Amino acid sequence: MRTDQILPRLERVFARLDREPERPAHLQTPRMSRHRVVLLGATLGIYLAIVVAVVTTSWLVRLDWQIMFFRPYEQWPQLHAFLDYLVVLGQRGPTAVMVAAWLGWRSWRQHTLRPLITLGVALLLLNITVGAVKLGLGRLGPHYATEIGSAELFAGGDIFPSGHTANAVVTWGILAYLASTVVTRRVLSLVSAVVSLSVGATTVYLGTHWVSDVLLGWLAGLLVLLALPWFEPAIAMAEAYVFDLRARLRSLVEAGQVPEALTGVLVPLLSAGGKWRLERAAAEPAERQPAQAVQPAQPVPPVVVVRQPGAAEPAQVPVPASATATASASASPAASVQTAGHQPAARPAAHLSGRPHLIRSERTPGAPAGSRRPAHAERAPARGAAPRPATGG
């Protein structure tokens, strides 16, 4: 494929990702229908029947021992390396991280926390139900069996039911449970069934679980998925509480009531999935202090410096205020109009030089009289003209 054809496709993909997330209006919350209730009851009946069969050491326990003696990992050793990796799809840690990443992206795109909260509720139910039965029965695995033909119950083990199998059913089945279309739900249901069956069969192949452990693990995961609609009201309440808590934290951050060190951590979390940006609330203006009255500057009477004949220094003679006012009024009538309470700026004192004033004719010339152009010796004088002197006189 040419590069110029790949780039437009990538641009369309990133343009779709950059669009503003929207919450689909056609999403419907699963309800506990009559069909689901019947299926849940049937699954629970089979679950209890398997537990009773193992406790009573029935034909199911004999089947467990027959397959254990068959040792599938010795019959097909070439599959051992591949199945060691395949069984990871049933481990709670890796699968929970992968599915949570996908559901987190869906939560951001759809502006809802329901996918993540539903995953958390499902895993919590799985740990409680499966963990209680494991610790209560305490069955040992095939590699730790002590008596041939025994159910190996109440011996301090924790393998009945199979946690890998139950976790594969719930973790991958939650994707089908949260699917938004019928076709997607059917496809994901098929994928989750294949993965959970493969993980269960792999544990039997590796010799880590009995056949009855795997059967009960499948049923335990299916019971959790079938019972999830009963917890939908609690999921909705949890989502509403989280959004309300986010709104309150936003108001506290905007009001500046959160320490700066904590604000830097909360702002990226509070702005995720929306257009909220931190805007500090405007601080209330402090009480203004009463302005102090400005005292007008006292006018400085003008002073005239007069040099007295025979005196060593010139004398300063103040000008009367009446004379100053008369001179100001005669100089500019418009300048005499003043606003109430306004005082004119003080004028600087006049300074008279102590030297006598000379007229232009009495000044010493700065340049000699006559022509200021220098004489050119190489230039001959014009015919019939007398030579001009170099200096005036």
pLDDT in tens, 64-110: 999 999 999 999 999 999 999 999 998 888 999 999 999 988 888 88
Please give the model's pTM, rounded to 2 decimal places.
0.63
For the chain, what is the radius of gyration of the CA atoms?
A: 51
Whether the pLDDT of residue 331 is over 50: the answer is no
371 Cβ contact list (under 8 Å, min separation 6)? 388, 392
Q: Which residues pair with 24 in a beta bridge?
A: none
How far apart are alpha carbons 207 and 141 in whole angstroms?
8
Cis ω before 161 (30° cut-off from 0): yes
Start-to-end Cα distance in the chain: 107
pLDDT in tens, 18-52: 454 455 555 677 888 899 999 999 999 999 999 99
Confidence class of residue 259 from pLDDT cuts 50, 70 and 90?
A: confident
Whether the pLDDT of residue 380 is over 90: the answer is no
How far apart are alpha carbons 205 and 209 in whole angstroms?
9
- Cα angle: 248, vertex 107, 194; to 5 degrees: 145
300 Cβ contact list (under 8 Å, min separation 6)? 346, 347, 349
Whether the pLDDT of residue 213 is over 90: the answer is yes
Task: Give whole-number Cα distances, 47 to 60, 126, 275, 323, in Å.
Answer: 13, 14, 49, 121
Task: Give whole-number Cα distances, 290 to 271, 294, 296, in Å.
Answer: 43, 12, 18
Tokens of residue 203, six digits:
């544990």
Three-state secondary structure along 121-147? HHHHHHHHHHHHHHHHHCCCCHHHCCC
- CB-CB contact of 23 with 112 (8 Å): yes
Confidence class of residue 212 from pLDDT cuts 50, 70 and 90?
A: very high
For the chain, the 3-state helix, strand and coil shares in percent, each to the nearest 5, are 55, 0, 40
Dihedral of CA atoms 350, 355, 357, 363 in degrees, nearest 10, equals -140
For residue 315, what is the enclosing H or E element? Answer: strand 315-318
β-strands 315-318, 303-306 pairing = antiparallel
How far apart are alpha carbons 165 and 196 in whole angstroms?
6
